[in-house]
Amino acid sequence: MAYYVDRNIKMTWWERLYIPEIIRGMIITSRHFFKNLFGFIPFFLGKKKEREIFTIYYPEETREYPVAYRGRPVLALNEEGRPNCVACGLCEIACPAYCIDIDPGANSGKQNEVERFPVEFTIDYAVCIFCGFCEEACPEEAIFMSNDCDISMLDRKKMKYNMEQLLMPVSELKDRIDFCRKMYGKWNY
């Protein structure tokens, strides 16, 4: 059903000035300002008051991020101590920022050997836009968006992570893996 806006409504002169809305916004802003100002000063109330407005004093305080949060991409390290990645390159192709670089290794053709594996896997977080396309494109459940967002550095060269820095055990990614299977399972599986 389409909704149509009637643009022929005539506003009064007072409504066109937006003065009532500006005054209402200033009242709300002032109320929040003074509530926070006097709420943290103990001698106004005789005791320390709990916070009225939700503010996190980062990095002293941190919060728990939701499962759907897209932090930095990491590689899943399975129980055998190897990455799940088979160096197919789909995450590298799906990345709109071109920040993923994979150097695939070839197996020797032995029977019990892993199919393929990455010799080098790097992600440049200075370029990454944290879109999650790499996670969606991966058929092996090897790359996931973690809840880690502390990657700020002063040197851009240090923001290029290699495979050792990207590896994270599957046990730490359990909630995200379950979320991805539920979310992307509608289309992929």
Task: List the structure tokens of 42.
Answer: 């103990």
Phi first, then psi: give them for residue 150, nearest 5 degrees: -90, 80
As a whole number of angstroms, the distance between CA 125 and CA 153 comes to: 10
Q: How far apart are CA 95 and CA 133, in angstroms?
A: 6
Reading across the β-sheet that carries 167-169, which strands appear in turn? Answer: 143-145, 73-77, 167-169
180 appears as a binding residue in the annotation? no
Can you tell me the distance from the alpha carbon of 44 to that of 161, in angstroms, rounded to the nearest whole number? 50
Structure tokens at 92: 């590298």
* Residue 149 marked ligand-binding: no
Residue 143 in 3-state DSSP? strand
In angstroms, the CA 56 to CA 59 distance is 8
The answer to whether the annotation marks 85 as part of a ligand binding site is yes
Q: Is 99 within any annotated ligand binding site? A: no
- Is residue 134 within 8 A of residue 166, CB to CB? The reply is no
The CA R_g of the chain, rounded to the nearest whole Å, is: 25
Positions at the binding site for [4Fe-4S] cluster: 85, 88, 91, 95, 128, 131, 134, 138
- Which residues carry a binding-site annotation? 85, 88, 91, 95, 128, 131, 134, 138
